[in-house]
A and B are shown apart, each in its own frame.
Chain A
Amino acid sequence: MNIRAQVSSVFHLDKCIGCHTCSIACKNIWTDRKGSEYMWWNNVETKPGTGYPTKWEDQQQYKGGWEKKGSDLQLKMGSKAASLGRIFHNPDLPTMDDYYEPFTFKYQDLTNAPAGNDQPTARPVSMISGKPMKIEAGPNWDDDLSGSNIYAANDPGVVQLSEEEQQQMFAIEKMVMFYLPRICNHCLNPACVAACPSGAIYKRGEDGIVLINQDKCRGWRMCVSACPYKKTYYGWTSGKSEKCILCYPRQEAGEAPGCFHSCVGRIRYLGVLLYDADRLAATAKLEDAELAAAQREMILDPFDPQVIEEAKKAGIATEVLDAAQKSPTYKFVKEWGIALPLHPEFRTLPMLFYVPPLLPVLSKETQGIHQLADGFFSSLEQARLPLKYLAGMFAGGNEEAVKEVYRKLIAVRIQRRKITVNDLADEEVAKAREIAGISAETIEAIFRMTSLTSIKQRIVIPPMLREQAVEAGMDPEAYKQEMGFGKRQPPKRRW
């Protein structure tokens, strides 16, 4: 056993209201400077939809993540030698048009316009060339446009559904959508690290945060193609790639990452997971449908005395083990088994998990009375969002794995409805629990963690032994825009 600690996250999608506060918090802290206008280390997209960058999930196009080559795992963009051979021009690099060209408006035209009969207008100009431009995309261009035949219909997850399923999804009375906030997953088998020719990207041993050493990055821009989630970004002025740093400077100071702290829906949970690094290679090679479960399997019980002993041997501090025991993500992912990784079939073993959205309750109308459909669990198959779509997102196509989670979530809903509204028979509640294989106490615990927690319970940051941390003692206010890259110089091209 080779135990390591990983700071991991859970996003509860039923709670996300799509307000983009998280994105703005992140932008204000890290990316509000020239060259990074287009970067959204945290972005929130509408599903079904094409996302940011457009159709990022389509790896036929982007060649991100890993694929199996015989008994080995290889980057989808090709072998190491092949990718060096393509270093002069990387055929799999998305261009700015796949994201969007940042723009501003010539506001001065409004105030400087001479008197006339027409209303003056502020024309949009590119923030790159300064030239007038036509705005054709933005950071969340398809926000709330689910059901549209330009965006939702082109969602790579929707495209794989049958014609009939697609029609059902887009029938006007059935239309449905949810929000998907995304940050870097700080993967256990990161493709970005594996693709970097300079060896500039690395995983921090102590907490698993994936970082790009800005001094070592040479702008070979291979990580941008390799990350299947498109969460490394090329800085077009600095000639360096950048990515979400999980606000490690904030964490080292004991503060939640910006997007977690600001989350209005309180959907974000953060905590330590312990895992066995020796099992990484074997796990990443399993079949698509087995990956979600196998990833859960790799996570170790922080209360198990043997695990504790091994963890101490591996140099994991007692304070960190303590945090692992209090970790909300351990509960969601392992203990309750209701959080799933996003696209496990990319095989990077992402460490950000999602509680899938429960979506509107299915109800049946009989003689003008709405009631919960009977055969509630069989009707899961006829849910407004086809299970196949959700399975394609969260379980490598394994519908059973998604159903398992939904049965539990529905049991929570039914038991809580019984308690608050009291319009359900006891047998019905018991039946729901039995089908889901979950106890009444667990349901209460899930309910409390979902709805009634304080920030201290949602976000359990392991002590980062700050006295030994990188940049301790620097004033973030005085060094705004310069910290967090291990740099005291502004991230600009100088030569």
Chain B
Amino acid sequence: MIDMILFGVFPYVAVALAVAVGIYRYCFDRYSYSSQSSQFLESRALFWGSVPWHYAILLVLLAHLLAFLFPSAWGALLGAPGRLYLLEVTGMALGVVSTISMLVLILRRVGNARVSAVTTTVDWILLVALLIQVATGVFIAITMRWGGFWYLHTVSPWLWSLVSFSPKIQYLASMPLVVKLHAVNAFFLVALFPFSRLVHVVSIPLAYISRPYQLVVWYRQRNQV
């Protein structure tokens, strides 16, 4: 029963919240979409936290996403032991980097009076949830080798079963506790996304690269005066 709720229902609730609240917030409170940068108040420790954090977490997320979207290609990629070790070791290293840098980010917010003054309860919840996420990830990678492989036969089918609206919770129900925690916490983060500063993840300003430097906005119809 509890498994059904956690692995069969909660993911839908989380995604529904993310989409519905995210859209609501975007439409009615777009002002609140911000990275809420705190660099202005403290810059040095942020560098050692934010830069490794973002590069590591983005790559790790990318790997999860690719393995989910293209299971067979991913399986083929990991087919040769050389490539398998390379990817696994890189993954572990990135996981360790993201764990350490998340610790830096958390300690920074605890230790610096200015930064803690601009930290909300939701910020704390988010940072702790992210720490749990990356720490369990590293633990899984180290103790249960090779995650790159079994992910394809357990997590990936579970996720696809969710996508096809016929949740097969047995894939997860039989996994060790730490994997369950990693999976549920992942959807907790999805649910947290629209309520926290995580919304900055969907405002990646890639269009900047191709736009002209200068922007001019006209308030009145031109050529009508």
Listed in ascending order, the chain A residues whose CB lies under 8 Å from chain B are 80-81, 84, 87-91, 93-96, 101, 126, 128-131, 189-190, 193-194, 196-199, 201-206, 214-221, 224, 234, 236-240, 312-318, 465, 468-470, 487, 489, 491, 493-495
CA distance A93 to B203 in the complex (A): 21
Q: In the complex, which range does the number of interface residues on chain B fall in?
A: 35 or more
User: Is B41 within 8 A of A220, CB to CB?
Assistant: no
One of B59-67, B83-91, B112-120, B178-186 at the interface: B112-120
Residues of B within 8 A of A203 (CB): 214-217
User: Is A221 within 8 A of B205, CB to CB?
Assistant: no
Residues of B161-212 whose CB lies within 8 A of A: 195-197, 199-200, 203, 205-209, 211
Most buried by B among A89, A91, A224, A468: A89
Q: A198-B203, A495-B25 are in contact. Are A215 and B222 (CB under 8 A)?
A: no
Interface of A (DSSP majority class) = loop
Q: Which residue from chain B places its CB closest to the CB of A470 in the assembled complex?
A: B219
CA distance A316 to B224 in the complex (A): 9
B34-51 vs A: 1/0 string, CB under 8 Å? Answer: 111111111100110011
Residues of A within 8 A of B34 (CB): 217-219, 238-240, 493
User: 6 smallest A-B Cβ distances: which pairs?
Assistant: A197-B205, A239-B34, A205-B218, A129-B113, A194-B213, A219-B34
Residues of B within 8 A of A193 (CB): 213-215
Contact of A495 among B29, B47, B208 (CB under 8 A): B29
User: Is B225 within 8 A of A316, CB to CB?
Assistant: yes
Q: A95-B43, A197-B208 are in contact. Are A219 and B35 (CB under 8 A)?
A: yes
CA distance A316 to B222 in the complex (A): 8
Residues of A within 8 A of B153 (CB): none
User: Is A129 within 8 A of B114, CB to CB?
Assistant: yes
Q: Which residue from chain A places its CB closest to the CB of B40 in the assembled complex?
A: A234
| Pairs across A and B, CB under 8 Å, 20 listed | A84-B208, A90-B39, A96-B40, A126-B113, A128-B114, A131-B113, A193-B214, A194-B213, A196-B208, A199-B208, A201-B215, A204-B217, A218-B203, A224-B40, A239-B34, A239-B35, A239-B37, A313-B223, A315-B220, A315-B225
Contact of A81 among B37, B209, B214 (CB under 8 A): B209
CA distance A489 to B29 in the complex (A): 9
State the Cβ distance, B194 to closest chain A Cβ, in Å.
8
Residues of B within 8 A of A128 (CB): 41, 113-114, 117-118
User: Is A130 within 8 A of B209, CB to CB?
Assistant: no
User: Is A189 within 8 A of B116, CB to CB?
Assistant: no
State the Cβ distance, B144 to closest chain A Cβ, in Å.
30
Q: Which residue from chain A places its CB closest to the CB of B199 in the assembled complex?
A: A495
Residues of B within 8 A of A239 (CB): 34-37, 197
State the Cβ distance, B171 to closest chain A Cβ, in Å.
34
Contact of B215 among A87, A131, A202 (CB under 8 A): A202
Q: A199-B215, A203-B217 are in contact. Are A495 and B195 (CB under 8 A)?
A: yes
For residue B122, CB closer than 8 A to chain A, the reply is yes
Q: A89-B50, A95-B43, A221-B37 are in contact. Are A469 and B219 (CB under 8 A)?
A: yes
Q: Which residue from chain B places its CB closest to the CB of A86 in the assembled complex?
A: B51
CA distance A239 to B32 in the complex (A): 8
Residues of A within 8 A of B37 (CB): 219-221, 234, 239
Residues of B1-23 whose CB lies within 8 A of A: none
User: Is A130 within 8 A of B117, CB to CB?
Assistant: yes
Q: A80-B209, A199-B207 are in contact. Are A494 and B43 (CB under 8 A)?
A: no
User: Is A318 within 8 A of B46, CB to CB?
Assistant: no
Residues of B104-131 whose CB lies within 8 A of A: 113-114, 116-118, 120, 122
Q: Which residue from chain B places its CB closest to the CB of A101 in the assembled complex?
A: B114
CA distance A312 to B224 in the complex (A): 10
Q: Which residue from chain A places its CB closest to the CB of B48 in the assembled complex?
A: A89
Residues of A within 8 A of B209 (CB): 80-81, 84
User: Is A129 within 8 A of B116, CB to CB?
Assistant: yes
Q: A96-B114, A129-B116, A218-B203 are in contact. Are A89 and B215 (CB under 8 A)?
A: no
Contact of B217 among A131, A202, A493 (CB under 8 A): A202
Residues of A within 8 A of B35 (CB): 218-220, 239
Q: Which residue from chain A places its CB closest to the CB of B55 in the assembled complex?
A: A88
Q: A198-B203, A199-B208 are in contact. Are A489 and B31 (CB under 8 A)?
A: yes
Contact of A93 among B40, B53, B113, B225 (CB under 8 A): B40
State the Cβ distance, A220 to closest chain B Cβ, in Å.
6
User: Is B214 within 8 A of A190, CB to CB?
Assistant: yes
Contact of B32 among A87, A312, A465, A493 (CB under 8 A): A493
CA distance A206 to B214 in the complex (A): 15
Q: A129-B114, A234-B37 are in contact. Are A89 and B217 (CB under 8 A)?
A: no
Known: A95-B40, A215-B31, A218-B200. 18 other contacts (CB 8 A): A88-B53, A89-B46, A96-B114, A128-B41, A129-B114, A199-B207, A202-B215, A204-B216, A204-B217, A219-B36, A220-B37, A236-B41, A238-B34, A240-B31, A313-B223, A315-B223, A493-B36, A495-B25
User: Is B114 within 8 A of A495, CB to CB?
Assistant: no
State the Cβ distance, B195 to closest chain A Cβ, in Å.
6
Q: A194-B214, A203-B216, A219-B34 are in contact. Are A84 and B205 (CB under 8 A)?
A: yes
User: Is A465 within 8 A of B220, CB to CB?
Assistant: yes
User: Is A198 within 8 A of B205, CB to CB?
Assistant: yes
Q: Which residue from chain A places its CB closest to the CB of B209 in the assembled complex?
A: A80
Q: A84-B209, A93-B40, A236-B38 are in contact. Are A495 and B122 (CB under 8 A)?
A: yes
Residues of A within 8 A of B214 (CB): 189-190, 193-194, 203
CA distance A494 to B55 in the complex (A): 28
State the Cβ distance, B24 to closest chain A Cβ, in Å.
11
Q: Which residue from chain A places its CB closest to the CB of B43 in the assembled complex?
A: A95
User: Is A221 within 8 A of B213, CB to CB?
Assistant: no
User: Is A88 within 8 A of B222, CB to CB?
Assistant: no
